Structure 1
Protein backbone atom coordinates (compact mmCIF):
# COMPACT_ATOMS: atom_id res chain seq x y z
CA UNK A 1 0.00 0.00 0.00
CA UNK A 2 1.32 3.39 -0.99
CA UNK A 3 1.68 6.11 1.68
CA UNK A 4 -0.14 9.34 0.98
CA UNK A 5 0.94 12.83 1.89
CA UNK A 6 -1.59 14.59 4.16
CA UNK A 7 -3.70 17.15 2.34
CA UNK A 8 -6.07 19.81 3.53
CA UNK A 9 -8.77 18.54 1.15
CA UNK A 10 -9.01 15.01 2.58
CA UNK A 11 -10.38 15.08 6.17
CA UNK A 12 -8.90 11.65 6.91
CA UNK A 13 -5.36 12.84 6.19
CA UNK A 14 -5.67 16.55 6.94
CA UNK A 15 -3.09 17.75 9.44
CA UNK A 16 -4.46 18.52 12.88
CA UNK A 17 -4.49 22.22 13.66
CA UNK A 18 -1.81 23.34 16.08
CA UNK A 19 -2.15 26.17 18.56
CA UNK A 20 -4.16 28.84 16.74
CA UNK A 21 -1.93 31.49 18.23
CA UNK A 22 1.10 30.19 16.33
CA UNK A 23 0.66 30.73 12.62
CA UNK A 24 2.24 27.92 10.67
CA UNK A 25 4.66 28.66 7.91
CA UNK A 26 5.97 26.45 5.19
CA UNK A 27 9.68 25.69 5.25
CA UNK A 28 11.71 25.45 2.03
CA UNK A 29 11.54 21.65 2.25
CA UNK A 30 7.72 21.77 2.20
CA UNK A 31 7.17 20.92 5.86
CA UNK A 32 4.98 23.10 8.01
CA UNK A 33 5.72 24.31 11.52
CA UNK A 34 5.39 27.24 13.88
CA UNK A 35 6.50 30.61 12.63
CA UNK A 36 9.61 32.49 13.66
CA UNK A 37 10.20 33.74 17.17
CA UNK A 38 7.98 36.70 17.98
CA UNK A 39 10.57 39.14 19.31
CA UNK A 40 8.37 42.12 18.43
CA UNK A 41 5.54 40.85 20.62
CA UNK A 42 7.94 40.07 23.49
CA UNK A 43 9.34 43.61 23.24
CA UNK A 44 5.95 45.33 22.91
CA UNK A 45 4.50 43.54 25.95
CA UNK A 46 7.68 44.25 27.92
CA UNK A 47 7.61 47.97 27.10
CA UNK A 48 3.93 48.27 28.09
CA UNK A 49 4.60 46.51 31.41
CA UNK A 50 7.60 48.74 32.20
CA UNK A 51 5.64 51.91 31.37
CA UNK A 52 2.58 50.92 33.42
CA UNK A 53 4.76 49.73 36.29
CA UNK A 54 6.76 52.95 36.46
CA UNK A 55 3.63 55.12 36.12
CA UNK A 56 1.88 53.30 38.99
CA UNK A 57 5.02 53.52 41.16
CA UNK A 58 5.25 57.25 40.41
CA UNK A 59 1.60 57.61 41.48
CA UNK A 60 2.26 55.60 44.66
CA UNK A 61 5.27 57.74 45.58
CA UNK A 62 3.32 60.97 45.07
CA UNK A 63 0.08 59.83 46.70
CA UNK A 64 1.28 57.56 49.52
CA UNK A 65 4.69 58.95 50.54
CA UNK A 66 3.20 60.82 53.52
CA UNK A 67 2.18 57.52 55.14
CA UNK A 68 -1.42 57.59 53.96
CA UNK A 69 -3.23 54.39 53.02
CA UNK A 70 -5.94 54.15 50.35
CA UNK A 71 -8.58 51.50 51.04
CA UNK A 72 -9.87 50.14 47.72
CA UNK A 73 -12.22 47.19 48.26
CA UNK A 74 -12.32 44.39 50.81
CA UNK A 75 -8.81 43.76 52.12
CA UNK A 76 -7.19 45.46 49.08
CA UNK A 77 -5.51 48.72 49.87
CA UNK A 78 -2.62 50.83 48.57
CA UNK A 79 0.13 51.19 51.13
CA UNK A 80 3.65 52.32 50.22
CA UNK A 81 6.54 50.00 51.09
CA UNK A 82 10.21 49.92 50.09
CA UNK A 83 11.60 46.46 49.30
CA UNK A 84 15.37 46.07 49.50
CA UNK A 85 15.21 42.27 49.36
CA UNK A 86 14.08 39.87 46.68
CA UNK A 87 10.49 38.90 45.89
CA UNK A 88 8.14 39.36 48.85
CA UNK A 89 10.93 41.13 50.82
CA UNK A 90 12.93 37.93 51.34
CA UNK A 91 16.64 38.50 51.91
CA UNK A 92 16.32 42.18 52.85
CA UNK A 93 19.67 43.74 53.61
CA UNK A 94 21.69 41.00 51.92
CA UNK A 95 22.08 42.69 48.52
CA UNK A 96 20.45 39.81 46.60
CA UNK A 97 17.65 41.82 44.97
CA UNK A 98 19.59 43.33 42.05
CA UNK A 99 21.20 40.00 41.19
CA UNK A 100 17.84 38.22 41.18
CA UNK A 101 16.53 40.87 38.76
CA UNK A 102 19.56 40.46 36.48
CA UNK A 103 19.11 36.68 36.59
CA UNK A 104 15.44 37.11 35.63
CA UNK A 105 16.44 39.18 32.60
CA UNK A 106 18.96 36.51 31.54
CA UNK A 107 16.21 33.90 31.86
CA UNK A 108 13.90 36.03 29.70
CA UNK A 109 16.55 36.33 27.00
CA UNK A 110 16.80 32.54 27.05
CA UNK A 111 13.01 32.22 26.84
CA UNK A 112 12.85 34.69 23.98
CA UNK A 113 15.35 32.63 22.05
CA UNK A 114 13.59 29.39 23.00
CA UNK A 115 10.91 27.42 21.24
CA UNK A 116 7.89 28.78 23.15
CA UNK A 117 8.52 32.32 21.84
CA UNK A 118 7.36 31.05 18.45
CA UNK A 119 3.86 30.95 19.90
CA UNK A 120 1.86 34.04 20.81
CA UNK A 121 1.21 32.82 24.37
CA UNK A 122 4.90 32.12 24.97
CA UNK A 123 5.91 35.51 23.56
CA UNK A 124 3.39 37.31 25.78
CA UNK A 125 4.67 35.33 28.80
CA UNK A 126 8.29 36.27 28.03
CA UNK A 127 7.27 39.92 27.58
CA UNK A 128 5.46 40.00 30.94
CA UNK A 129 8.44 38.48 32.74
CA UNK A 130 10.89 40.80 30.96
CA UNK A 131 8.84 43.92 31.65
CA UNK A 132 8.43 43.01 35.31
CA UNK A 133 12.11 42.22 35.78
CA UNK A 134 13.19 45.43 34.04
CA UNK A 135 10.68 47.51 36.02
CA UNK A 136 12.00 46.24 39.35
CA UNK A 137 15.61 46.45 38.20
CA UNK A 138 15.04 50.09 37.22
CA UNK A 139 13.90 50.79 40.78
CA UNK A 140 17.02 49.16 42.18
CA UNK A 141 19.23 51.00 39.71
CA UNK A 142 17.82 54.50 40.01
CA UNK A 143 15.82 54.84 43.25
CA UNK A 144 18.60 54.67 45.81
CA UNK A 145 20.94 57.08 47.51
CA UNK A 146 23.74 54.52 47.94
CA UNK A 147 24.63 54.29 44.25
CA UNK A 148 23.75 52.21 41.22
CA UNK A 149 21.78 49.01 42.00
CA UNK A 150 21.41 49.89 45.68
CA UNK A 151 17.87 51.23 45.55
CA UNK A 152 14.65 49.75 46.85
CA UNK A 153 11.72 48.47 44.80
CA UNK A 154 8.53 50.47 45.28
CA UNK A 155 5.69 48.19 46.44
CA UNK A 156 2.19 49.44 47.18
CA UNK A 157 -0.49 46.82 46.46
CA UNK A 158 -1.39 45.50 49.89
CA UNK A 159 -3.87 42.65 50.26
CA UNK A 160 -3.14 42.51 54.00
CA UNK A 161 -2.87 38.70 53.80
CA UNK A 162 -0.04 38.59 51.25
CA UNK A 163 3.27 40.49 51.07
CA UNK A 164 2.98 43.95 49.53
CA UNK A 165 3.78 43.93 45.79
CA UNK A 166 3.64 46.04 42.62
CA UNK A 167 2.56 45.74 39.00
CA UNK A 168 5.97 44.37 37.94
CA UNK A 169 5.69 41.56 40.48
CA UNK A 170 2.19 40.72 39.25
CA UNK A 171 3.40 40.68 35.62
CA UNK A 172 6.23 38.28 36.52
CA UNK A 173 3.86 35.88 38.30
CA UNK A 174 1.25 35.97 35.52
CA UNK A 175 4.01 35.61 32.90
CA UNK A 176 5.44 32.57 34.68
CA UNK A 177 2.00 30.94 34.75
CA UNK A 178 1.46 31.66 31.06
CA UNK A 179 4.91 30.33 30.29
CA UNK A 180 4.03 27.02 31.94
CA UNK A 181 0.83 26.88 29.86
CA UNK A 182 2.73 27.75 26.68
CA UNK A 183 5.32 25.06 27.30
CA UNK A 184 2.58 22.48 27.89
CA UNK A 185 0.75 23.46 24.70
CA UNK A 186 3.78 23.73 22.43
CA UNK A 187 4.60 20.58 20.51
CA UNK A 188 8.11 19.22 20.83
CA UNK A 189 10.52 20.93 18.42
Structure 2
Protein backbone atom coordinates (compact mmCIF):
# COMPACT_ATOMS: atom_id res chain seq x y z
CA UNK A 1 0.00 0.00 0.00
CA UNK A 2 1.41 3.39 -0.99
CA UNK A 3 1.69 6.46 1.20
CA UNK A 4 -1.03 8.22 -0.84
CA UNK A 5 -3.57 5.41 -0.20
CA UNK A 6 -2.79 5.42 3.55
CA UNK A 7 -3.37 9.19 3.72
CA UNK A 8 -6.66 8.97 1.76
CA UNK A 9 -8.23 6.40 4.13
CA UNK A 10 -8.28 8.65 7.27
CA UNK A 11 -9.60 11.53 5.19
CA UNK A 12 -12.49 9.41 3.93
CA UNK A 13 -13.28 8.25 7.48
CA UNK A 14 -13.29 11.83 8.75
CA UNK A 15 -15.63 12.85 5.96
CA UNK A 16 -18.01 9.97 6.72
CA UNK A 17 -17.97 10.84 10.44
CA UNK A 18 -18.82 14.45 9.67
CA UNK A 19 -21.72 13.40 7.45
CA UNK A 20 -23.12 11.11 10.15
CA UNK A 21 -22.87 13.87 12.75
CA UNK A 22 -24.67 16.30 10.43
CA UNK A 23 -27.42 13.74 9.84
CA UNK A 24 -27.87 13.22 13.59
CA UNK A 25 -27.88 16.96 14.13
CA UNK A 26 -30.54 17.48 11.45
CA UNK A 27 -32.72 14.79 12.96
CA UNK A 28 -32.34 16.25 16.43
CA UNK A 29 -33.09 19.69 15.09
CA UNK A 30 -36.19 18.34 13.33
CA UNK A 31 -37.45 16.80 16.56
CA UNK A 32 -36.77 20.01 18.44
CA UNK A 33 -38.68 22.01 15.85
CA UNK A 34 -41.60 19.59 16.04
CA UNK A 35 -41.57 19.83 19.83
CA UNK A 36 -41.59 23.61 19.64
CA UNK A 37 -44.49 23.59 17.20
CA UNK A 38 -46.35 21.06 19.38
CA UNK A 39 -45.79 23.21 22.44
CA UNK A 40 -47.01 26.27 20.57
CA UNK A 41 -50.09 24.37 19.40
CA UNK A 42 -50.80 23.17 22.93
CA UNK A 43 -50.47 26.67 24.29
CA UNK A 44 -52.76 27.97 21.58
CA UNK A 45 -55.39 25.32 22.43
CA UNK A 46 -55.41 26.45 26.06
CA UNK A 47 -56.00 30.10 25.30
CA UNK A 48 -59.23 31.29 26.98
CA UNK A 49 -62.07 32.31 24.69
CA UNK A 50 -63.02 35.96 24.49
CA UNK A 51 -66.31 37.33 25.82
CA UNK A 52 -67.69 37.56 22.28
CA UNK A 53 -66.68 33.99 21.45
CA UNK A 54 -68.23 32.75 24.67
CA UNK A 55 -71.51 34.56 23.93
CA UNK A 56 -71.60 33.13 20.40
CA UNK A 57 -70.87 29.62 21.66
CA UNK A 58 -73.59 29.81 24.31
CA UNK A 59 -76.08 31.17 21.77
CA UNK A 60 -75.43 28.29 19.34
CA UNK A 61 -75.84 25.81 22.20
CA UNK A 62 -79.18 27.38 23.15
CA UNK A 63 -80.36 27.17 19.54
CA UNK A 64 -79.55 23.46 19.38
CA UNK A 65 -81.34 22.80 22.67
CA UNK A 66 -84.33 24.87 21.58
CA UNK A 67 -84.75 22.85 18.37
CA UNK A 68 -84.98 19.61 20.36
CA UNK A 69 -87.48 20.98 22.88
CA UNK A 70 -89.59 22.77 20.26
CA UNK A 71 -90.13 19.59 18.29
CA UNK A 72 -91.44 17.75 21.34
CA UNK A 73 -93.75 20.48 22.56
CA UNK A 74 -95.19 21.18 19.11
CA UNK A 75 -96.08 17.52 18.53
CA UNK A 76 -97.61 17.26 21.99
CA UNK A 77 -99.55 20.51 21.64
CA UNK A 78 -100.93 19.45 18.27
CA UNK A 79 -102.14 16.18 19.82
CA UNK A 80 -103.84 18.04 22.66
CA UNK A 81 -105.68 20.37 20.29
CA UNK A 82 -107.05 17.42 18.32
CA UNK A 83 -108.43 15.70 21.44
CA UNK A 84 -111.24 18.26 21.83
CA UNK A 85 -112.70 17.22 18.46
CA UNK A 86 -112.92 13.49 19.20
CA UNK A 87 -116.21 11.79 20.18
CA UNK A 88 -114.66 10.52 23.43
CA UNK A 89 -114.09 14.08 24.65
CA UNK A 90 -117.87 14.56 25.14
CA UNK A 91 -117.92 11.72 27.68
CA UNK A 92 -115.25 13.22 29.93
CA UNK A 93 -116.25 14.25 33.42
CA UNK A 94 -115.72 17.63 35.00
CA UNK A 95 -112.37 16.72 36.56
CA UNK A 96 -110.98 15.30 33.32
CA UNK A 97 -112.15 18.35 31.37
CA UNK A 98 -110.41 20.57 33.92
CA UNK A 99 -107.20 18.57 33.57
CA UNK A 100 -107.48 18.88 29.80
CA UNK A 101 -107.90 22.66 29.93
CA UNK A 102 -104.93 23.00 32.29
CA UNK A 103 -102.86 20.78 30.01
CA UNK A 104 -103.66 22.81 26.90
CA UNK A 105 -102.81 26.06 28.68
CA UNK A 106 -99.51 24.63 29.94
CA UNK A 107 -98.69 23.37 26.45
CA UNK A 108 -99.38 26.79 24.94
CA UNK A 109 -97.23 28.48 27.59
CA UNK A 110 -94.39 25.99 27.00
CA UNK A 111 -94.57 26.62 23.26
CA UNK A 112 -94.36 30.36 23.85
CA UNK A 113 -91.37 30.08 26.17
CA UNK A 114 -89.41 27.76 23.90
CA UNK A 115 -90.01 29.83 20.76
CA UNK A 116 -89.38 33.15 22.53
CA UNK A 117 -85.55 33.04 22.09
CA UNK A 118 -86.02 33.19 18.31
CA UNK A 119 -88.23 36.27 18.54
CA UNK A 120 -85.90 37.82 21.10
CA UNK A 121 -82.91 37.41 18.82
CA UNK A 122 -84.76 38.74 15.80
CA UNK A 123 -85.92 41.93 17.56
CA UNK A 124 -82.56 42.63 19.21
CA UNK A 125 -80.27 41.55 16.37
CA UNK A 126 -77.61 44.16 15.63
CA UNK A 127 -78.18 46.03 18.92
CA UNK A 128 -74.93 44.78 20.51
CA UNK A 129 -76.89 43.01 23.26
CA UNK A 130 -75.65 39.45 22.71
CA UNK A 131 -74.91 38.82 26.39
CA UNK A 132 -78.36 39.99 27.46
CA UNK A 133 -80.02 37.96 24.71
CA UNK A 134 -78.13 34.81 25.69
CA UNK A 135 -78.91 35.25 29.39
CA UNK A 136 -82.61 35.90 28.82
CA UNK A 137 -82.91 33.08 26.27
CA UNK A 138 -81.37 30.67 28.78
CA UNK A 139 -83.94 31.61 31.41
CA UNK A 140 -86.78 31.26 28.92
CA UNK A 141 -85.48 27.82 28.03
CA UNK A 142 -85.49 26.75 31.68
CA UNK A 143 -89.02 28.09 32.13
CA UNK A 144 -90.14 26.31 28.96
CA UNK A 145 -88.66 23.01 30.16
CA UNK A 146 -90.60 23.25 33.43
CA UNK A 147 -93.83 23.98 31.54
CA UNK A 148 -93.12 21.15 29.11
CA UNK A 149 -92.62 18.69 31.97
CA UNK A 150 -95.92 19.77 33.53
CA UNK A 151 -97.66 19.45 30.17
CA UNK A 152 -96.38 15.91 29.72
CA UNK A 153 -97.42 14.99 33.25
CA UNK A 154 -100.95 16.34 32.83
CA UNK A 155 -101.31 14.64 29.43
CA UNK A 156 -100.20 11.35 30.94
CA UNK A 157 -102.67 11.78 33.81
CA UNK A 158 -105.52 12.49 31.40
CA UNK A 159 -104.76 9.41 29.29
CA UNK A 160 -104.21 7.08 32.25
CA UNK A 161 -107.47 8.13 33.91
CA UNK A 162 -109.30 6.96 30.81
CA UNK A 163 -107.35 3.70 30.43
CA UNK A 164 -106.90 2.84 34.14
CA UNK A 165 -109.64 4.43 36.27
CA UNK A 166 -108.78 4.85 39.94
CA UNK A 167 -105.81 5.92 42.10
CA UNK A 168 -103.35 3.90 40.01
CA UNK A 169 -103.50 6.51 37.25
CA UNK A 170 -102.50 9.30 39.65
CA UNK A 171 -99.73 7.15 41.13
CA UNK A 172 -98.25 6.35 37.72
CA UNK A 173 -98.42 9.97 36.57
CA UNK A 174 -96.79 11.10 39.82
CA UNK A 175 -94.01 8.52 39.40
CA UNK A 176 -93.27 9.71 35.87
CA UNK A 177 -93.17 13.34 37.02
CA UNK A 178 -90.75 12.37 39.80
CA UNK A 179 -88.53 10.68 37.22
CA UNK A 180 -88.62 13.83 35.08
CA UNK A 181 -87.62 15.92 38.09
CA UNK A 182 -84.67 13.63 38.80
CA UNK A 183 -83.42 13.46 35.18
CA UNK A 184 -84.02 17.07 34.16
CA UNK A 185 -83.23 18.99 37.34
CA UNK A 186 -81.88 16.99 40.30
CA UNK A 187 -79.14 15.23 38.33
CA UNK A 188 -77.75 18.38 36.62
CA UNK A 189 -77.79 20.27 39.92
CA UNK A 190 -75.99 17.39 41.65
CA UNK A 191 -73.30 17.29 38.95
CA UNK A 192 -72.85 21.07 39.14
CA UNK A 193 -72.41 21.03 42.91
CA UNK A 194 -69.97 18.12 42.74
CA UNK A 195 -67.93 19.92 40.09
CA UNK A 196 -67.89 23.12 42.14
CA UNK A 197 -66.80 21.17 45.22
CA UNK A 198 -63.99 19.50 43.28
CA UNK A 199 -62.72 22.86 42.02
CA UNK A 200 -62.77 24.33 45.51
CA UNK A 201 -60.91 21.29 46.87
CA UNK A 202 -58.25 21.63 44.17
Length-normalised TM-score, structure 1: 0.36
The answer to which structure has the higher helix fraction is 2
- State the structure with bigger RCO (CA 8 A, min sep 6), 1 or 2: 1
The answer to which structure has the higher strand fraction is 1
Task: Compare CA radii of gyration and give the structure with the larger one.
Answer: 2
Length-normalised TM-score, structure 2: 0.34
